[in-house]
């Protein structure tokens, strides 16, 4: 799909990444299109799955999720059943914001948020460590956030 995006599509996407509440008329004005073609482009980008959804981004600290942990998880076996069980369990944990399958010495990287270290400890012992197939978990607490964005470099 990337090769099929023209200059207008990329400008539309850049604007929507910064403020999804913009109307198609506002976007059209900023990218140099009339409203109808701009609206049709936005609809096409949605239909093609380039635009996956529109959400409201929250400040995690302002809602009490002050601790961010990155956990590296190693499974004890690499059979498909362990992989499936693990991924299904992880999808059910609201504390886990992101989960990536890795190539290398660990199998998964998780980004976890909790109110504090004690809450992470409870999450670890009451949920994460009980997932079948886990051999090892190495957790790292993030002290501060230097950069965090949801905007992809489309321009």
d(CA 150, CA 40): 24
Distance CA 94, CA 26 (A): 35
For 101-131, the pLDDT digits (tens) are 999 999 999 999 999 999 999 999 999 999 9
Sign of CA dihedral 83, 85, 86, 92: positive
| pLDDT at residue 82 in the model | 80
Which domains are delineated in the chain? 2-47 (1.10.10.10), 60-142 (3.30.70.920)
Whole-angstrom distance, CA of residue 73 vs CA of residue 137: 5
Contact 120, 139 (CB under 8 A): yes
The predicted model scores a pTM of: 0.87
Mean pLDDT of the chain: 94
pLDDT tens-digit series, residues 39-92:
999 999 999 999 999 999 999 999 999 999 999 999 987 666 788 889 999 999
Of 73, 27, 32, 74, the C-alpha closest to 51 is 27
> How far does CA 68 lie from the centroid of its chain?
14
**H or E segment and range at residue 121:** helix 117-126
Question: Mean pLDDT, to the nearest integer, of 18-34?
Answer: 96
């Amino acid at each position: 799909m990337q090769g099929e995006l023209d200059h207008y599509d990329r400008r539309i996407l850049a604007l929507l990444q910064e403020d999804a509440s913009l109307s198609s008329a506002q976007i059209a004005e900023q990218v140099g299109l009339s409203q109808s073609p701009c609206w049709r482009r936005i609809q096409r980008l949605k239909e093609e799955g380039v635009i996956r959804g529109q959400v409201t981004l929250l400040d995690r600290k302002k809602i009490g999720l002050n601790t961010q942990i990155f956990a590296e998880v190693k499974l004890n076996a690499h059979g498909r059943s362990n992989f499936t069980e693990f991924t299904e369990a992880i999808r059910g944990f609201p504390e886990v914001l992101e989960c990536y399958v890795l190539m290398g010495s660990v199998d998964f990287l998780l980004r976890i948020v909790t109110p504090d270290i004690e809450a992470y400890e409870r999450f670890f012992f009451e949920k994460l460590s009980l997932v079948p197939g886990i051999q090892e978990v190495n957790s790292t607490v993030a002290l501060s956030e230097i950069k965090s964005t949801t905007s992809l470099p489309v321009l």
